[in-house]
Amino acid sequence: MILEMKVPSPGESITEVEIATWLVKDGDYVEKDQAIAEVDSDKATLELPAEVSGIITLKAEEGDAVKVGQVVCLIDTDGAKPEGAAAPAAEKAPEAPKAEEKKEEPKKEEPKKEEPKAAPAPASYAAGTPSPAAKKILDEKNIDSSSVAGTGKGGRVTKDDAVNAVPSMGTPTGGNRGSERTKLSMLRRKVAERLVSAKNETAMLTTFNEVNMTPVNNVRNEYKDAFKAKHGGVGLGYMSFFTKAVVRALQLFPDVNSMMDGDYKVAFDFVDVSIAVSGPKGLMVPVVRNAEGLTFRGIEAEIKRLAIRARDGQITVDDMTGGTFTITNGGVFGSMLSTPIINPPQSGILGMHNIIERPIAVNGKVEIHPMMYVALSYDHRIIDGRESVGFLVAVKEGLENPVELLMDNNPKKALEL
């Protein structure tokens, strides 16, 4: 029996995915629930498991965009399972030359097909004139159409000519000048689209402040070893302190924990904190849900779980759905100061940065302390200056007085020691 395997729906809002990598080859025997492909959606990379055991026939190529519900492969359940681990290789070995022969035949013909396309058409009044679609692409690339050799009828510049056109890089003076053109993953394209949308569709402003990290460092230095030993290897990092400080500030300034929905403002009585992390497939923003009800241990454990899933490519759409406020930490890469971009439809994002010892005035004296610049980007359509500045000051206060404001004057109880 031949089973048609269709692309399952990764989430409610996703209608299309992209075949990132086939993990099996055409004609391989696959076991039920074996991962046969990695597919990119606009939110995450997911594995596609085989629905039954049998011989697989691929119906889509890597890089193809396929609709949810579209057939991407066939599995012949009557196909014989190879015996032993070495059997499949032995059985496929004599078939390999046949596959190569089949592949070699069209390869010999390909240059013949390409030759007439590569050769410029005879000059005519249309030579060098771009089609409307080609003109739009060339204008976006800031390339003069007269510098592009047209391969269309009469020398007309086609859309393909415009897509393949490369802006001049100046006169070569020697050395390696290679380049590579690769298609962005669906996830990266969606991230790019959302970032541009956030810049164009929100009244985004950024306000800054600085935080003396000495009090947080003192708490961490005193309790981090006991915390790690008590909680099964979960470390006491900075993120739990920042998340706690953000939760407190959002409760004091609830407008920052709201979003625009047309002509309405949607306010939330819970805090779902999105944590921006860098994964192998690009920027991902998993969500720590109901952070207002989590302890330091709960926050650290959840962030660690989500970070591992993102790093290993196992993050799911549900892990990244929702969120009412975002925290991003450019400091791990050495950033001193930045203006983070809002993660729509949220209205605010807090940017953390690197910690550098700097001289500051303390009670009329110059002292050196570990300092961090923090930035809040916010949507001015819904958040006024008073709320934005007050929110950031509240974050600063929580971090500079964590024992009183974040731990209720009982660090051991707050850290569950």
Q: Catalytic: which of 225, 312, 318, 384?
A: 384
What integer pLDDT is reported at residue 90 of this predicted model? 40
pLDDT tens string for the chain (417 positions)? Answer: 888 888 887 766 677 888 888 889 888 899 888 888 888 776 667 788 888 889 989 888 888 888 888 888 998 888 777 775 443 444 444 444 444 444 444 444 445 444 455 455 455 556 667 777 778 888 887 787 777 777 777 777 888 888 777 776 666 666 777 777 777 777 777 778 878 888 888 899 999 999 999 999 999 999 999 999 999 899 999 999 999 999 999 999 999 999 998 889 999 999 999 998 876 666 788 899 999 999 999 999 999 998 888 877 777 777 888 899 999 999 888 999 999 999 888 999 999 999 999 999 999 999 999 999 999 999 999 999 999 999 999 999 999 999 999 999 999 999 998
Residues 83 and 78: their CA atoms lie apart, in Å, by 15
Residues 200 and 320: their CA atoms lie apart, in Å, by 23
CA distances from 378 to 174, 259, 348 (A): 48, 11, 4
Answering whether pTM is above 0.75, one says no
What integer pLDDT is reported at residue 214 of this predicted model? 96
- Residue 353 designated active-site: no
Residues 245 and 242: their CA atoms lie apart, in Å, by 5
Contact 342, 348 (CB under 8 A): yes
What integer pLDDT is reported at residue 86 of this predicted model? 42
Residues 201 and 34: their CA atoms lie apart, in Å, by 43
* Cβ neighbours of 414 (radius 10 Å): 20
* Secondary structure (DSSP) of 17-48: EEEEEESS-TT-EE-TT-EEEEEE-SS-EEEE
Tell which phi-psi region holds residue 127, choosing left (phi > 0), alpha (psi between -120 and 50) or beta: beta
What integer pLDDT is reported at residue 269 of this predicted model? 92
Contact 44, 315 (CB under 8 A): yes
What integer pLDDT is reported at residue 311 of this predicted model? 78
Q: Catalytic: which of 33, 225, 380, 408?
A: 380
SS3 content of the chain, % helix, strand, coil (to 5): 35, 25, 40
CA distances from 70 to 8, 16, 36, 278 (A): 9, 9, 16, 31
What integer pLDDT is reported at residue 152 of this predicted model? 76
Per DSSP, the three-state class of 56 is strand
- Residue 408 designated active-site: no
Burial 13-36 (b: 16+ CB within 10 A, else e): ebeebbbbebebeeebbbeeeeeb
* Cβ neighbours of 301 (radius 10 Å): 18
